Structure 1
Amino acid sequence: MKKALRLKKNEDFQVMFQKGRSMANRQFVLYYLKKDDEISFRVGLSVSKKLGNAVTRNRIKRMIRRFFQEHKDMLPTGYDYLVIARKPVADMNYSEAERSLGHVLYKADLTNKLL
């Protein structure tokens, strides 16, 4: 994922928490915020140390990035997304994580079908 498409700064995360809307299921919490000046979407990730060691956390982040890379054509542009992983994600494979993220986006009405 390109650097321009990532949320990295603490200020960006704080804006998402304060002004963004949220949707959650058992595996993920999704914050999203419409940005009128953006032509693409940006993604921020939060994976707590409670989920496991560095290897596990990095695997979870790679799964989330892969999801957004593979489904970028189906997602609306002009949004910032913040994905927070919860404990059950540590034991999931990619297809389960993909289904769960698709479910959260569908619940948030950000896609017209389950991915």
Structure 2
Amino acid sequence: MAVPPPTIRKRADFLAANRGKRFVTPGFILLVRPREDADPQMRAGYTVTKKVGNAVVRNRLKRRLRAAVQSQLAARGIPGADHVLIGRDAGLARPFADLEADLARALARLS
């Protein structure tokens, strides 16, 4: 099992990522923005709006997104960039293998 990437915590970092590239899939939206600092480390952030459901549902979707990122980001991520995943309704019903394939396709497209 791969080591999870550091998590983005500051709102300013999420807003900065929103100005980067984006790729839309049925289960999530991926935002990628290079940090333009000397650190080659990849960071990941997760957000799910209240439109998706209650706290239990939102947290379940975030856990699924974290697991997909943990399996795909190390091999396919963009070094020195912030990766933000915004969960969507379909992310809960979508099979996990499809979620991983969507993330791999999105990372390949944005790199």
When the two chains are superposed, the root-mean-square deviation of aligned CA atoms in Å is: 1.8
Shift in CA distance, 40/58, structure 1 to aligned 2, threshold 3 Å: same
- Structure 1's consecutive aligned runs of 4 or more residues displaced over 4 angstroms after TM superposition are none
Q: Does residue 11 of structure 1 match 2:16?
A: no
Q: Give the aligned partner of residue 95 of structure 2.
A: 93
Q: TM-score, normalised by structure 1?
A: 0.79
1:1-115 pair list within 5 angstroms = 1=4, 5-18=6-19, 20-35=20-35, 36-74=37-75, 75-108=77-110, 110=111
Amino acid at match of 2:89: K
Work out the CA distance in 2 between the residues paired with 1:22 and 1:73.
19
User: How far apart are residue 57 of structure 1 and its match?
Assistant: 1.2
The residue identity in structure 1 corresponding to 2:64 is M
Where does the alignment leave 5 or more consecutive residues of structure 2 unmatched? none
Decide whether the 8 Å contact of 1:28 with 1:104 is kept in 2: no
Aligned equivalents of 1:16, 1:76: Cα separation in 2: 13
> Which residue type is aligned with residue 25 of structure 2?
N
Change (3 A) 1:23 1:72: closer
Q: Which runs of 5+ in 1 are unaligned?
A: 111-115
State how far apart, in whole Å, the 2-side matches of 1:66 and 1:16 are: 21
Task: Give per-residue Cα distances to partners, 1:36-93, cap 9 Å, x unaligned.
Answer: 3222101111111211222221111111111222224312321101111112112123
2: CA distance between counterparts of 1:91 and 1:7?
A: 26
Distance 1:29 1:72 in 2: 15
| Offset, 1:23 | 1.6
Aligned residue pairs total: 106
Contact 1:27 1:87 (C-alpha < 8 Å) held by counterparts:
yes
Matched residue SS, 1:32: strand
Percent identity, please: 28
Corresponding letter in the other structure for 1:32: V
